[in-house]
Each structure stands twice: as structure tokens, then as C-alpha cells.
Amino acid sequence: MIAKAISHIRWKGLFAPSIFFTGGKLRNPDQAYGQQVSCMRKTLGFSILELMVTMAIVSILAATGFSQYQTYIIRSQATRVYTELNAYRTAAENCILENRLLNTDCGIEFVASNLTSSVTADLSSTSDTLKATFGGNAASALNGLSLSLHRTTSGEWTCTTTMEEKYRPKSC
């Protein structure tokens, strides 16, 4: 009985309690006697489940992004070698038009590239070909593969390569 009476008294003093202990339950004195009291806890951080879900999502995005980045790097290296090989096309064309058949007669010298292991020119009466073989600092997916420019009898240059379709330069 005393507990019921105390719970209905409003304390206005300096040390006035806002919650009373009555009958084994915490109660606010503003509530009517017998009402359920919901004790809400403040959330102070993230649960382990929320962190695990976030990490899973970030991992999936990172894995996808990394593979796309690798493909981008390989394509850029293939395009760079194509551009470097294409620069020699003009020198080879001059050599062919002046009726010089051998590479040594033309004086074509290839500047070393860190993406190729060899660059060769075969300028003969049967085949006019510039060929670059990937090596050195090229991506492992390109090592040992080749990219070639062939001159047709009509004077057009075509590109052929041994690399996968997704890595080929757009002009090839």
C-alpha cells in the first residue's frame, strides 16, 4: 500500500526521482498504476550484423570493380602497342613505295617499348607485315600474344591479333 501511495506523489525537490520502484517493475510516476512500462534503450552504435552486411556489399562491389579495372588496363596496353606499331606504318609505306624490299634497306629502327618483347617488319614482295609481340611489363593476359599490321595488295592495312576480343583495340 505504501508503495502505491508513494508512486502517485509527485516530487518537486532537488533530488526528486522520476522513476519509482513499485512491485518489481520500474514505473514513471506520471503513468496510471498498472500500465505497462516500456524501457527503451538508446542505440549507441552498429550491430555486428549491420557491419557484416555492409562489408559483404562493399566486398562484392570491390571485386567487380577490380576485374573491370584489370580489363581496362589490358585494353589500354593493347591500344598503346597498336598505336606504337601504327606509327611505323608510315615508314614501311615509304619503304614499299620506293621499291625497297628489305627491312635493312629501309632503315626502319624500332624504339624499344616496355610492353613488347619484339617488334619486327617483314617487307617483301609476298608479305608486308609489321608485328609486335607482347612481353616485358605487359599484363600477364597479354604475354606472348601478338598484334600485326598486314598490307594488302591494294595498299590497305589490316590488323590481326591473337588476343581475346574483349582486349582488342577498337581499330583491330
Mean per-residue pLDDT of the chain: 77
pLDDT at 127: 74
* Tens digit of each residue's pLDDT (9 = 90 or more) over 145-170: 999 998 887 888 889 899 899 888 88
First to last CA, the chain: 95
* Tens digit of each residue's pLDDT (9 = 90 or more) over 94-107: 887 776 655 556 76
C-alpha cell at 31: 503513468
pLDDT at 104: 53
Decide if 135 contacts 148 (C-beta within 8 A).
Answer: no
Q: For residues 3 and 120, which has the higher predicted lDDT (pLDDT)?
A: 120
Decide if 123 contacts 105 (C-beta within 8 A).
Answer: no
Tell me which residue has cell 505504501: 2
Interacting residues of 153 by C-beta distance below 8 A, sequence separation 6+: none
Decide if 4 contacts 33 (C-beta within 8 A).
Answer: yes
**Given a cut of 70, is residue 115 above it in pLDDT?**
yes
pLDDT at 156: 87
Residue 79: CB atoms within 10 Å: 17
C-alpha cell at 132: 609486335
Residue 169: CB atoms within 10 Å: 19
Tell me which residue has cell 598486314: 150
Asked if the 79-167 domain carries CATH number 3.30.700.10, the reply is: yes
Decide if 77 contacts 138 (C-beta within 8 A).
Answer: yes
pLDDT at 12: 45
* Tens digit of each residue's pLDDT (9 = 90 or more) over 5-46: 444 444 444 444 544 445 555 555 555 555 555 566 666 788
* Tens digit of each residue's pLDDT (9 = 90 or more) over 67-96: 889 999 999 999 999 998 888 888 888 887
Q: For residues 54 and 94, which has the higher predicted lDDT (pLDDT)?
A: 54
Please give the Cα distance from 82 to 160 (Å, whole number): 10
Decide if 161 contacts 170 (C-beta within 8 A).
Answer: no
Q: Give, as one character, the DSSP assignment of residue 135.
A: -
The residue extents of the domains of the chain are: 1-10+17-37, 79-167
